[in-house]
Structure 1
Amino acid sequence: MKVISKKTIKNIVREIVDACDPELVILFGSYGRGKPKKDSDLDIFVVADLPGTASEKNRFVDRAITSSSFGIDIVVRSREQVKNALKGRDWFIQEIFAEGKKLYAR
């Protein structure tokens, strides 16, 4: 598999925004750090107040993405969950905010 283009990533972000009107979309992992490899998947963090469990939210956003033929890992959290995670020093969320690349903000 080849490295995913910026245009493709932009299209995916548009699909996410259209589907759930997020507050924030962050690209993290190897693409967020600007060091993707040929076999890297796309890691996307979405801040959106959606109903349901974490896995239901992730699945909802994942299903909205139609322009991909490669692996995408979606992580969706509400604004309140992010606030509590940052306050509670959740290393995973802190790393996303420290190293990730903001692709969309409302």
Structure 2
Amino acid sequence: MSAILLDLSELEPPQPWERIVEQLPRLNQGDWLQVWHHREPRPLWALLNRLGLSYCCLEIARLSSAQQDHLPCPPPLAQYWILIWNPHDQPSSQTCQKLIEL
């Protein structure tokens, strides 16, 4: 089980979208995407829904102290922390839910 880390905080469209979509086929059992982004990529949500993937997008300024303690230090320009996972993959689902609920 592992996070695939993507720092997209300094990229301009469409590069963040392309990098995320490029990683989706690489989500193996127990893997999830952990993304740092400078904006909420709203157009991506429809694609993830069509693919049957789950996601959570949280504003870094609103993360709990417990969440912050479990994450690497966000890049300076990052404003959002995004998790993307396969809801049918129990290990990654459980891990992502725990991170979200901290």
Higher helix share: 1
Query: Structure 1-normalised TM-score?
Result: 0.32
Q: TM-score, normalised by structure 2?
A: 0.32
